[in-house]
Chain A
Amino acid sequence: MKLLKPSWVSHNGKPIFSLDIHPDGTKFATGGQGEDSGKVVIWNMAPVIREEDEKNEIIPKLLCQMDNHLACVNCVRWSNNGLYLASGGDDKLVMVWKRAALIGPSTVFGSSSKLANVEQWRCVTILRNHTGDVMDVAWSPHDVWLASCSVDNTIVIWNGRKFSEIIATLKGHTGLVKGLTWDPVGKYIASQADDHSLKVWRTMDWQLETNITKPFSECGGTTHVLRLSWSPDGQYLVSAHAMNNSGPTAQIIERDGWKTNMDFVGHRKAVTVVKFNPKIFKKKQKNGSTPKPSCPYCCCAVGSKDRSLSVWLTSLKRPLVVIHDLFDKSIMDITWTLNGLGLLVCSMDGTVAFLDFSQDELGDALNEEEKNTIHQNIYGKSLAITMESQLSTTIIENPEMLKYQQDRQGNQNPNAAQGSSAENQTPKLTNVLNGQSLEDIRKNLLKKQVETRTADGRRRITPLCIAQLDTADFSPALFNSVPILPGSSASTQLTPQISSDSNTANSMGLRPSHEPSTTTSPNKTTEDNKDSGAAPVNSIGMKSNLLLTSASKIEPMKALDSRFTERSKATPGVTSIPLTMCITPLDSHRVKDSKEPKGKDETSSDSEDKIMVKSLSMAKRKGEMEGGEVVEKRKKGRPRKDAKMMMPTSQPFPQTTVSTSVGPVEPSRSAAPVVVFKLPTPSLQKSFSTQVGTDAITYLEVENEISVVSGARLSQLKWSREGREWETLLPSRIMIATGSSDVVAIACEDRTLSVFSACGRRLIPSIMLPAPMSALHCSGHFVMVLMTSATLSVWDVQKQAALVKNESLNAILSGTDATVNQSLLTQQGVAVVGLSNGKTYCFNSSLETWNLIADKQDSLVQCADFRNCVSSQDALGAMGPLALTQGRNLSAGRLASRLSSAPHLLQQGMTLAFLENQLSSALILLSANEYRHWLLIYTRFLVNEGYEQRLRELCQDLLGPVHKSTCSSWQPTVLGLRKRDLLTEVMPVIGQNLRFQRLFTEYQDQLELLRLK
């Protein structure tokens, strides 16, 4: 083992609370206290690893520093994909950083450091929710979620795919929550708090799985952090500070039953941080010795308040190494390199140490595949199927795939570390200077700038735009008084990489310890400080410019110093630690004189509360108003008493119109016990009105027995749409009236059915039905009739043909005591019948069968999880008759966690079966949109889970025969969609997984061929 303390990694002596090595191993982030704010710094890893790089002045050490946090940064964590950095601090905020386009080195204006920012990282989101200091943040496996914990006793789970969205807030701790760790399998998240407890929460429902208190009962809240860690195989969770026989320990908690029988003992003070090595190891095979099977083991580093660090292997009873007196103060955070051989530690004393192990010491790291096998064996699922790190080892075999992958990377993550194209970024800041140099412009800026007077006589300057920002991805680059350099010079120097394979790890040359090399002399700085007496830490160059010789001249500066940081009178009451929320003068006056931070906090929460209340009441008011509108609309609609009969006034997607109606069946059913296979009839009303149609709202008004002409009773039907009206008279009393945009259907008491066109022209002479009507639907030019004899008919009025003729519902009703509680007709003329037992069937006229399309009790629906296969734009495609009949069940399925209690293999199978069900259901319902929607999800699922056979079959069906052949029964379209268009749509999905690159190429080529034909 080699040990190094890189003295240049420092926050000017201020404490470093957290550090994390980037997944690609080229850089690491530190977080801690800045001058008068929190500070996040990104450092180059190469100078830590190689001495020659450290000495090479061309290689930058500091890559970027961000002082946006208003108070001390307690935690920095890279996302697993390396795209984001999350930081949490005492300012109650979590910031998420993303690398911006390269635009050249820069410094933070006004900061003491003259070092340039080589990389630009900009804050893409600020996550505000916590009401206290954020102590720890953690990305879930696959970066689906980001968790943050705080001294406000809560843990917030943020949506890692859509920031600012809160998935859950985990409440239950009664003390400051100081550490978080995700289960590598993704099933749990564990948190440790000052309330003498460690809690494990389920990610499936975000409820408490277990609460472990016994090992912590003796613990005092003496540590700043309690960073716990989960072993990479998921089998063990190791806590920070625990007590055993009055001695500080790190408690080992077994996943199996959450047993707490073991601990790491030996530290003299509380354990602040535990960090598992990301690798699983197996014993190094010695040359010559016969290979014997050895059990894989994990490696774990433990840091403590006693300033010492211990490294343990789970295969050994004693620690592998213990290093005392490494720091002057408590250890705060530990991070491992991805290859598992390097380790960075930081301390409250503001220094960082790097430990480098050899393979002889730790053992042979299992590769991803072996690690996956272990996961597969334990949990029945592999974690890394779609992990990019694994894909990157696959060789791209053809240029088209390469191009596709590059495009994709370019779109998704322009700054991705793994991308081969990531280095050749073009600056996103477009210069708008028309060829003029910035220097020229600056010379004449005062003369040239546009200055006007506002109406009230104030000066108004139109600033000169020197660069436009690509708002999609730009840089908040901070630069010094140098003109902008086109392109970057320094960034190209950043070549050294630590790759995760062990060869390079071997070649890493490390030396035992090292003197500070080229840092700016700290003595000089302190001298300056003494001179000025005003203690501006950032006072480099002060002496040379300002002739401060006499002590009397220095005196006023002390007094002046406060002026730099105090806000102007315009917004008084706020000192240099500003508040999360803006304080309005109204609030701030009240606390003008309260200097204690506590007072300020109260104010901030006060004002927040106020704003909250205000917005709440606004929302409420809005809601009321909307409510009012709805009521009004209803009035206009003149609904009949049974509101359920009404058509929805506005359906979100008119193209997938479905006419639903439940009303007529229900009321009478509840009135009298239903005879099996005998459907109820709607009650006869004197008059009623109903609203039909979707694109143009149509009102049907029925008035029975309006006039008695020579003993005959007539009933009137009144139709109105957008000011147009017609009326018709019928000899019998009208029981049900319904219509679509094309037709109007009327069922009368005398078992006749009349069908009119939208203009009131009778299309068919009265149809005599074999039994009284139970339900009647119109959709497009289709009319569906459900009769009390439990038979169904569907006609196509336009073609004057029967689609379904007196089909009995016996098939679906027999053997159950269920009744029909829903029936509808899709736009394509497919009859759908929903039963009270939660099953929904549709009748397929070509097969002449009843097909089950939805079942509320279907466990497949409950357990299938395809969440990660649904993209946001898919949401629209999900609307249609299938979604309508399945309704809420579907969303339940979507909520079921990918990592739910079911074993993965089983769940995979269930999801597959479910998706195939959906696909065939959409097909049988003739719902093209939904078919496409589910096809895409199905493909994504196949791609993600690696079902090559099915994928191939699917592609083959979509492609069809490339050459014309007469004997082929292949249909070029499905539900009116061209299959080859669908295939073209599906191809990019397949291209996402490099495993299928041959399949991708094969079909891409053939599609291309067909296109040329």
Chain B
Amino acid sequence: MAKVQVLNVAVLDNPSPFGNPFQFEITFECMEDLPEDLEWKIIYVGSAESEEYDQVLDSVLVGPVPAGRHMFVFQADAPNTGLIPESDAVGVTVVLITCTYRGQEFIRIGYYVNNEYTDPELRENPPVKPDYTQLQRNILASNPRVTRFHINWEATMDKMEDSENVDPTPNSMLPPTSMPGKAPPLGLMPDNSMDCL
């Protein structure tokens, strides 16, 4: 049983220009005092085709979390347009809010996002190079897709440290001999390197 239940996410400032920060007002309830912070992330899916273009817009620690019902607003800057494939700038994509506890993701809330030009002219004849200043971002707030994962809420210290200590070199083909199986597979970036983006 998850110790933290997300009760509601209100999407603020929606729809809004593409460059505006994302704002989510998150309400959650915690069954007992959490000794460690929750880590929330907003991930913007740049392209449906590949996870390569996922951007972690921001990650924030939330704590301390005593037993009770809490809320906070998670604000994160708009995605870096330079990292979005031009062909995917306009249209439907997804923004994800994830929450992890002790490095384990236990909830993932996804919203469809529709980016489109407000100007009918541009809508008819979109420029080859997307004009982000003219794009409007519309988050389908009424239809969150919530996926809950079962995680271990209790302290398992050594395991946690392991996950934090994963070798951050993403393209290393050779796993460190001392830790077989721990090397991230090719093309998969471990957690902490994502934060750097």
A interface residues, Cβ below 8 angstroms from B = 36-37, 68, 70, 91, 95, 106, 109-111, 123, 126, 429, 432, 441-442, 445-446, 449, 454, 458-469, 471, 474, 476-481, 484, 536, 538-542, 544-548, 552-554, 556-557, 559-560, 563-565, 567-572, 574, 576, 578-582, 584-587, 589-590, 592, 611
Contact with A along B167-197 (1 / 0, CB 8 A): 0000000000001011111001111001000
Q: Does B131 contact A (CB under 8 A)?
A: no
The interface residues of chain A lying within 8 Å CB-to-CB of B10 are: 442, 481
Complex Cα–Cα for A590 and B150 (A): 19
Main secondary structure of the interface of A (DSSP, over half): loop
What would 8 more interface pairs be, CB under 8 Å, given A540-B143, A564-B110?
A70-B150, A459-B59, A469-B69, A548-B114, A560-B93, A568-B100, A582-B150, A592-B185
**Once the chains bind, are B45 and A560 in contact (CB under 8 Å)?**
yes
The interface residues of chain B lying within 8 Å CB-to-CB of A571 are: 100, 103-105, 149, 163
CB distance from B126 to the nearest CB of A (A): 12
Which residue on A lies nearest to B150, using beta carbons?
A578
Complex Cα–Cα for A569 and B70 (A): 27
**Once the chains bind, are A567 and B149 in contact (CB under 8 Å)?**
yes
Which residue on A lies nearest to B38, using beta carbons?
A463
Q: Could you show 16 A-B contacts with beta carbons less than 8 Å apart?
A: A109-B9, A110-B146, A446-B12, A460-B60, A465-B68, A466-B27, A471-B67, A479-B7, A479-B8, A556-B49, A560-B48, A567-B105, A570-B163, A570-B191, A574-B149, A578-B148
Complex Cα–Cα for A442 and B11 (A): 12
**Once the chains bind, are B104 and A586 in contact (CB under 8 Å)?**
no
**Once the chains bind, are A126 and B1 in contact (CB under 8 Å)?**
yes
The interface residues of chain A lying within 8 Å CB-to-CB of B68 are: 432, 465-469
Complex Cα–Cα for A458 and B1 (A): 29
**Once the chains bind, are B71 and A463 in contact (CB under 8 Å)?**
yes
- Choose among A442, A463, A540 the residue with the greatest number of B CB atoms under 10 Å from its CB: A463
Q: Does B35 contact A (CB under 8 A)?
A: no
B interface residues, Cβ below 8 angstroms from A = 1-2, 5-10, 12, 23, 25, 27-32, 37, 41, 43, 45, 48-49, 51, 58-75, 88, 91-94, 96, 98, 100, 103-105, 108-110, 112, 114, 116, 138, 140-152, 156, 159, 162-163, 166, 179, 181-185, 188-191, 194
CB distance from B104 to the nearest CB of A (A): 5
**Once the chains bind, are B147 and A576 in contact (CB under 8 Å)?**
yes
Complex Cα–Cα for A560 and B62 (A): 28
**Once the chains bind, are B163 and A463 in contact (CB under 8 Å)?**
no
Complex Cα–Cα for A580 and B149 (A): 9
Complex Cα–Cα for A436 and B140 (A): 30
Which residue on A lies nearest to B61, using beta carbons?
A460
Complex Cα–Cα for A126 and B183 (A): 33
Which residue on B lies nearest to A108, using beta carbons?
B146
Number of A-B contacts (CB under 8 A): 246
The interface residues of chain A lying within 8 Å CB-to-CB of B146 are: 109-111
CB distance from B86 to the nearest CB of A (A): 14
**Once the chains bind, are B73 and A581 in contact (CB under 8 Å)?**
no
**Once the chains bind, are A564 and B147 in contact (CB under 8 Å)?**
yes
**Once the chains bind, are B8 and A585 in contact (CB under 8 Å)?**
no
Complex Cα–Cα for A467 and B30 (A): 10
**Once the chains bind, are A556 and B69 in contact (CB under 8 Å)?**
no
With A70-B150, A546-B112 known as contacts, the answer to whether A538 contacts B143 (CB < 8 A) is yes
**Once the chains bind, are B49 and A559 in contact (CB under 8 Å)?**
yes
With A542-B140, A582-B151 known as contacts, the answer to whether A445 contacts B163 (CB < 8 A) is no
**Once the chains bind, are A557 and B112 in contact (CB under 8 Å)?**
yes
With A557-B92, A570-B103 known as contacts, the answer to whether A545 contacts B142 (CB < 8 A) is yes
Taking a contact as CB atoms closer than 8 A, the residue among B5, B45, B73 that contacts A449 in the complex is B73
With A110-B109, A556-B92, A563-B45 known as contacts, the answer to whether A446 contacts B66 (CB < 8 A) is no
**Once the chains bind, are B143 and A542 in contact (CB under 8 Å)?**
yes
Complex Cα–Cα for A587 and B152 (A): 14
With A460-B61, A477-B7, A570-B191 known as contacts, the answer to whether A469 contacts B150 (CB < 8 A) is no
Complex Cα–Cα for A571 and B191 (A): 8
**Once the chains bind, are A541 and B142 in contact (CB under 8 Å)?**
yes
**Once the chains bind, are B72 and A589 in contact (CB under 8 Å)?**
no
Which residue on A lies nearest to B9, using beta carbons?
A109
**Once the chains bind, are A469 and B162 in contact (CB under 8 Å)?**
no
Complex Cα–Cα for A571 and B30 (A): 22
The interface residues of chain A lying within 8 Å CB-to-CB of B29 are: 469, 476-477
The interface residues of chain B lying within 8 Å CB-to-CB of A560 are: 45, 48, 92-94, 112
CB distance from A419 to the nearest CB of B (A): 25
**Once the chains bind, are A109 and B143 in contact (CB under 8 Å)?**
no
- Choose among B43, B116, B150 the residue with the greatest number of A CB atoms under 10 Å from its CB: B150
**Once the chains bind, are B1 and A68 in contact (CB under 8 Å)?**
yes
With A110-B109, A589-B184 known as contacts, the answer to whether A546 contacts B27 (CB < 8 A) is no
The interface residues of chain B lying within 8 Å CB-to-CB of A556 are: 48-49, 88, 91-93
Complex Cα–Cα for A568 and B195 (A): 12
CB distance from A812 to the nearest CB of B (A): 56
The interface residues of chain B lying within 8 Å CB-to-CB of A567 are: 105, 108, 149
10 tightest A-B CB contacts, nearest first: A110-B146, A582-B152, A463-B70, A556-B48, A564-B110, A559-B48, A467-B69, A570-B191, A564-B145, A446-B73
**Once the chains bind, are B7 and A541 in contact (CB under 8 Å)?**
no
CB distance from A541 to the nearest CB of B (A): 4
Taking a contact as CB atoms closer than 8 A, the residue among A37, A445, A469, A542 that contacts B71 in the complex is A445
